[in-house]
Amino acid sequence: MSMEKVKNSLLCVIVLLLSACYNHGPVSPDAWDLTERQIDSLSFFTTHHYSQNYNFVVKASQMPISDEAGSQAFDTLYVLKGDPLVVADIKTISSDTIDSVWVKVARDQMTQGWIRESEMLPCVSPNDPISQFIDFFSDTHLLLFLALLVVVVVAYGLRRLMRHNARIVHFNDIDSFYPTLLCILIASSATLYASIQMFSPESWRHFYYHPSLNPFSLPWFLALFIASVWAILIVGVATIDDVVHRLEPSEGLLYLCGLAGVCAVDYVLFSITTLYYIGFLFLVVYIIFALWRYFRYSHYRYVCGNCGARMHRKGICPKCGVENV
């Protein structure tokens, strides 16, 4: 093949590469082409985190809705607990001195009406299981009740377990780091959960209305929280598996019950104390305490060369009496 033909072939290849198809992507409508109503809807979504066609579910026993927006209503309907609702329209009434935002919700074609936003939000939850789970654990009265119940029950249970020299995390633990790690993760997650609500409430509110279990689609602090939740689930499964293999069934069940009680105390304690800023100090102290108790009293580094018994440190074996050096 002559050099002229080689040059022509290379030239053809270059031309083909440069003239390849290029996808410009979907053409987005220009912001100036939006109607005033669409702009208002986007502005409302930015500040309120929901908009038209958003789905709620009634969590109150009943919620009244009126046939007309405004203070004068001629007919009132009631939607009941568990009823799904969709936001049909949103209207601002500046003359309303109580709440200028009115929301039209619809259960079906025959059951729809208006209600003030301030009256609606306490009565509904986003129609998403994650949001409803957040709602359940964010209830103040429930949290205070759980705090009292958990402290009383766990204090009594730990006292009984320690009297019988039963296995319990932090105090008479097994040689497994998973239970200690699980407690640290729950304490850290509770602290982070309360911190997000304190320092970035709007981000948490947006997450509440649009939840996701994918940490890669969230801001870094929410991603860290969701990652810690996944870590709790994984470490929890590993803990149960380790306990089943290390303890007898009856002893293992008691240990897991005690571990659940300690985890409940961690969640309640750090969720509440972080709201008063002392939870951060408590968390540091707790992590140091948990690690010290495990590595000092529960973790066995050595094995007796004579009988195979596990030992915390070199020296005389507590089982056979042989000195290990």
Closest to 286 measured CA to CA, from 154, 190, 188, 193: 188
User: pLDDT for 92-131, tens place per residue?
Assistant: 888 878 888 899 999 988 888 899 999 999 999 999 999 9
pLDDT of residue 274: 93
Q: What share of the chain in percent tops pLDDT 90?
A: 34
Q: What is the pTM of this model?
A: 0.74
Residue 318 has pLDDT above 90, yes or no: no
Structurally, what CATH architecture does the domain formed by 36-126 represent?
Roll (2.30)
Q: DSSP letter at 296? A: I
Euclidean distance between CA atoms 131 and 57, whole angstroms: 11
The 10s digit of each residue's pLDDT in 140-173 is 656 666 666 666 666 767 666 666 677 888 888 8
Enumerate the H helices of 1-128 as residue ranges.
3-18, 36-48, 117-120
What is the distance between the alpha carbons of residues 216 and 290, in angstroms, rounded to a whole number? 30
Task: Write out the residue limits of the CATH 2.30.30 domain(s) in the chain.
Answer: 36-126
Between 39-48, 71-80, 94-103, 225-234, the lowest mean confidence (pLDDT) is in 39-48
The answer, yes or no, to whether residue 132 has pLDDT greater than 50, is yes
Distances (CA, A) of 161 to 43, 157, 184, 257, 271: 57, 6, 22, 11, 26
